[in-house]
Amino acid sequence: MSPVLVTGGSGYVGTHLIAALLRAGRSVRATVRSTAREAALRAALRAAVRRGGADDARLEFVAADLSADGGWAAAVAGCEEVHHVASPIPVVQPDDPDELIVPAREGTLRVLRAARDAGARRVVLTSSFAAVGYTPKPGAEFTEADWTEPDTPGLAPYPRSKAIAERAAWDLMEREGGGTELVVVNPTAIFGPALTAEARSSTQLIKAMLDGTMSVAPRQRFGVVDVRDVADLHIRAMAAPEAAGKRFLAVADGPALSFLEVAGILRRRLGPLAARVPTREAPGDEPPRPIIHNDRARDELGWHPRPAETTIVDTAESL
């Protein structure tokens, strides 16, 4: 069986996806911007994979950067399945939106073209709920049929970049995808345990709550999904013939949460360890609480996400 390519192999989702694939007995080729940290990554993955009764002997790291063509032809060579997970995620929103939009769009197209040219059967792309539900909608109820409009007034560069990059991916594959199929996974806010030592992505928010850096809870409402369930959905989306050409929202069952509700979960479940989490919310109008449907992933792919509370607690314990 040919190796599976995972882009963004050192990232939060990428490491979990690699571990899940290795536990399933697959050979994995993972791209990283630099192989300088390969030893540390292998050690982290080895610890995660051995808990599942496998090892990392079938894992290969290759260098490839989303901002350059070099390395991608070699990365996808011989791979029938490509999981494109890598994407720029800003620590702060840039003043110039093109700092995010251009690398997100061009990097996605670069990987898709390389996969197509190599004759890959399917690409599963990690997009985001940011490409689905960041344009105001009466009732704030969202399915895979919804799209964030990039020209929405006041839209931040990150959701704009995700919407533009995903639209560009679908347009490319419709025009000149050849025989390569595209499937897109659209996660909400991703939490859950990290496999590496760094606090990354949404885990930094939980860390800020626990260490007191976030003294007041931002007035936001958001869907939660576990990083392990995102990896599982990627694998299901790759395997199911009927998934071709579709988007799949990845979100835990139940209502969207606020930061103040997340803080309440931490206090209730962690006791004294959560003594510094915020107890009040920033002033302002009550924001909409989105209703985000995961029916397609559940019904068509048999996906069953963890409860949001389990994910929040596991994130904190991992930190």
Annotated catalytic sites, by residue? 162
Angle separating helix axes 12-23 and 38-50, nearest 10 degrees: 50
**Partner residues linked to 185 by β-bridges:** 126, 248
| Burial (0-12, 13-18, 19+ Cβ within 10 Å), 302 | exposed
Percent helix, strand, coil in the chain (nearest 5)? 40, 15, 45
CA distances from 84 to 8, 122, 225 (A): 7, 10, 19
Q: Are 158 and 99 in contact (CB under 8 A)?
A: no
**Phi/psi at 61 (5° precision):** -105, 135
The amino acid at 95? D
Q: Are 185 and 230 in contact (CB under 8 A)?
A: yes
**Partner residues linked to 247 by β-bridges:** 184
* 89: number of Cβ within 10 Å: 17
Q: Are 49 and 19 in contact (CB under 8 A)?
A: yes
| Burial (0-12, 13-18, 19+ Cβ within 10 Å), 220 | middle
**Phi/psi at 269 (5° precision):** -95, -25
CA distances from 163 to 59, 147, 289 (A): 32, 7, 21
Cα–Cα nearest to 169, from 123, 120, 216: 123
* 120: number of Cβ within 10 Å: 23
